[in-house]
Amino acid sequence: QVQLVESGGGLVQAGGSLRLSCAASGTIFSINTMGWYRRAPGKQRELVATIGRLRYTNYADSVKGRFTISRDNTKNTVYLQMNSLKPEDTGVYYCNVAGSSWYDWGRGTQVTVSS
Interval 37-57 mean pLDDT: 96
Q: Distance between alpha carbon 77 and the CA centroid of its chain, in Å?
A: 10
Please check whether residue 66 is in contact with residue 82, taking contact to mean a CB–CB distance below 8 angstroms. Answer: yes
- Whether 29 shows a pLDDT value over 80: the answer reads no
Structure confidence at residue 10 (pLDDT): 97
Residue 46 reports pLDDT greater than 80: yes
Average pLDDT, whole number, for the chain?
A: 95
Name residue 19's beta-bridge partners: 81
Q: What is the pLDDT of residues 58-95, one digit of tens each?
A: 999 999 999 999 999 999 999 999 999 999 999 999 99
pLDDT band at 11 (very low <50, low <70, confident <90, very high): very high
Question: What is the rounded CA–CA span in Å between residue 95 and residue 41?
Answer: 18
| Lowest-pLDDT range of 24-28, 40-44, 47-51, 77-81 | 24-28
